[in-house]
Structure formats: C-alpha cells, structure tokens
Amino acid sequence: MKKLVTVLALVALFSASFVFANGAKESAAVTMNQGNITVEDLKNAHITLEFWHAQSQANGVAMDKVIALFNETNEYGITVNGTYQGGYNDCDKKIMAALAAGQAPNIAQAYNNNMMNYMPSGKLMDLTGYLKDGFGISAQDFATVLPSYLAENNAFPDGKVYATSLGKSTEVMFYNKTFFDLHGLKVPTTLDELAEVSKKITAITGRPAFGYDSLDNLGIYGPVNFGAKYADPQGHVYLFDADNLPKTKAFYEWWQQGIKGGYFRSAGEDKYCSGPFGTGQIIIYIGSSAGAAYITPDGFEVGIAQNPVGVNPAVIQQGGNCCGFTTGKPLVDLAASIFLEFMYDPEASALYSANTGYAPSNKAALDLKVYKDSIASGDIPSRAKAVSASYPDGTLAYDPVFTNSYGTRTRLSDIVEAIALDPNADIDALITEAKADLKLK
C-alpha cells in the first residue's frame, strides 16, 4: 500500500485578503486546501523548477553547489535550474515584471521587504503548512535551525511564513590587535566600554578611533541596545513613544558624545570602514562579517570579536532569503516547498557557508566537516564567519517588514548621519522631524 502523506496544497488564487498597517486592503498570497499526495506521485511527476537568485562570483559558485547537492540527493527526482538574475535590485525588478506577465519563477531570492511587494499578486507561497507536511526537512533538522532565522521569516504582517534562509552575515567588531596589545587595551564587550577604549585610543593617535559601517543598522539597533523597542510587523514604530523615547535619546546622546569628542566616526566618504582600518587610520570598526575579505591590514594583526552590546543585546543578521511562487498545481508547488525547506538543511547550509562569508542557517552545520574545514584556514574571512556564527540565541536580531519598513529604516539612519555630520545637532529637533516624516504621533 502506498504511504499517504497529507499535505497542504495550494490550489486557489486571490481568495483571501488581509489589511496592511496603512489600512489598504491587499490580496493575500493564497488559500490552502487539504489534499493527499504520495511520494510516488511526486517521483513520477519528474518536476523541474526554475530558481532565480542574486548570487554572483564566489557566492554564485556556492549557490550552484547547493543546487547540485539538492538535485543529486533529493529522493523525489526534483530538478532545480538556478539562474543568476543580477544583484538583489535587478533580481527584484525582474521578479516584479515576471509576476505582472504571469511568468514568475517557482523560487526566487529576495529580501523580505521585497516579498511584501509580491503579496498583492496572489502568487507568493505561504510555507506555513508545508514546513510540517512530512516532506522536505525532517523535524530533527528543523529543530536545529537558528531561532532568529525562523522568527525573521515569520515576521510578516499576517504572521505567516513566506521565506527560508541558507545563511546570513552579521555585524562583528574588527580591531587592530597589534595596537591593543602594544598599549595594553582591553577588547570592549559593552557599548560603554567601547566609548571608553575609543577615548583612550584617540588620546594616543589624535584621530577618531572607532567607525561604524552601516548607519542604517545603527539607526535601529543602537536604540534597541539601549533598551528601546523598535517596531512590529503591523507597522507600529515604538522608538519615539513615551515608554521608549528616553532610551532612544540615550543612544543618540551616546553617539553624539563620541562624535563631539572626536573618537567616533561614520564611514563617510570612504563608504566602508575597512579601508581606513586597513591603513591604520582607525583602530576599531563594526561591519559585516561578509565584508572581511576587503580588509588588507598594513603591517598589523587583525582581531575579531562579537559586537559590544548594551542592556538589551541585539546584533543585526543580514542577507537575502528565498521565497516561492505558487502555480496552483499541487505537485509543482509541493516540490518548490521541498527545495525551499532544503535551505535550512544542515548539509546545504554548511556547504553554502563553507564557500561564502555567511554563517549557516542551521546550528548542526557547525559540526560538519565541510564547514569546519572552511574555518580551519584561520584567515580574516574565516575568523569573521566563525565569530558571526558564535552569537548566542536571543542576540541576533532582524528588521520586521511592514508597509514602509524600508523607508522607516532609511529615515532613522538619517538621524544618526545628521549627528555624525554635525556634532552639535539638536537631537529633539531631529526626532520631531523624523516623527513628522514617518507620520508618527
């Protein structure tokens, strides 16, 4: 007798709707009906899937290896064709055009805020039921996926799961270990310690000691580390309300004191701090672990550590995710969900991480030989990746997506940049202007 596996098959389009945070009604992804599909049904279908991604060069090679591993090992005879569609912006434009033309790929790589734009098409695949349908990733392997990855991919306005992840970078702290050792400095683990050691370094060098690459990240996770709540998937931004404003302002004042004191700086015209760090112009900076390959130290040893944190430790996880587009054909959509779940597989995430600067999505991947071998070289990118993968549960954070989540992120970055450009900037005025722009009460 055939073993029946009950699955939730996507068979109806444009049949449900939900209300976004701005009050506009949009068409939800799809509804889901019960259906019975056997393993034999899937094998006999000989399904080929199209996967559009944004990975090029070494990352593209890594993605090709993951796709090949799936094609060689999946028990259902599913074949995935991966196609590079340009960077994330180019890939997103092509996806939007394909959706409009009714020719979407089965699977695509995108940021979660881009997926919000795919929802009105009614084609974005709800993975909530598929993750527990008996196909794809085992319950044992699913239990070892990083909680922050699962939380991010569930952080949509309707609370459903639309994405999975192979791996991500995080922010880490790079420091001039030779300089630290020479002057007997302690590697900071808190934001207060970071400020103090930066003051000492500036007193020695006469230059800003510390730089921050992404003011977008700092604009959100600076206040969060000071104890403020950022936002939820329904679009409620809390940073400036009565409960959170004092903590948000405390962060702005901390940043302003460092800028005014001459010991903090932004990347500014250098665009990234890896350049001035490599030449010794700054001694510490926080940047993406995936950017470690761009550091070329001029005669000093590079140290790498977890980010200094505040009273509410929060470090951003970064990188695109993968989503599916329903065809309305249960077997094809099930096959797409199986490949999407493969993103969380320990072997897949270990292989991808081993060949990129990203930490794996599954904790079990850290113990696999292919990942360990990639760390063993001990070079700067490998050490950065190892630190990226070492953050404890509860520390890694993500941006929830909601209507205008990208615009909110950018506007918060503007405040931090304004302070970096003008040490005497009026923080209260900057907050008032941002609230007005974001239409916050």
Topology match between the domains 4-165+320-367 and 169-317+397-437: yes
**CA–CA distance, 122 with 145 (Å, rounded to integer):** 28
pTM for the whole structure: 0.89
Among the listed residues 137, 49, 110, the one whose alpha carbon sits nearest the alpha carbon of residue 332: 49
Confidence at residue 124, expressed as pLDDT on a 0 to 100 scale: 97
Q: What single-letter DSSP state applies at residue 69?
A: H
pLDDT above 60 for 28: no
How many C-beta atoms surround the C-beta of residue 391 within 10 A? 22
How many C-beta atoms surround the C-beta of residue 199 within 10 A? 18
* Band of residue 17 on the pLDDT scale cut at 50, 70, 90: very low
Half-sphere exposure of 112 (CA within 13 A, CB side): 26
Q: Where are the alpha helices (DSSP H) in 206-278?
A: 215-225, 245-260, 274-278
pLDDT above 80 for 12: no
List the chain domain ranges. 4-165+320-367, 169-317+397-437
Class of domain 4-165+320-367: alpha beta
Contact 293, 57 (CB under 8 A): no
- Adjacent-strand bridge partners of 37: 5
pLDDT above 60 for 10: no
- Distance from chain centroid for Cα 313: 17
Q: Note the pLDDT tens digit of each residue in 103-116.
A: 999 999 999 999 99
Q: Note the pLDDT tens digit of each residue in 221-267.
A: 999 999 999 999 999 999 999 999 999 999 999 999 999 999 999 99
> Which of 19-28, 118-127, 327-336 shows the lowest mean pLDDT across its residues?
19-28
Question: Do strands 264-266 and 17-19 pair parallel, antiparallel, or not at all (unpaired)?
Answer: unpaired
Q: Note the pLDDT tens digit of each residue in 380-397.
A: 999 999 999 999 999 999
Read off the amino acid at residue 341: E
| Cα→Cα distances 435→18, 174, 222, 230, 329, Å | 26, 34, 18, 13, 46
CATH fold of 169-317+397-437 reads D-Maltodextrin-Binding Protein; domain 2 (3.40.190)
Among the listed residues 32, 34, 29, the one whose alpha carbon sits nearest the alpha carbon of residue 18: 29
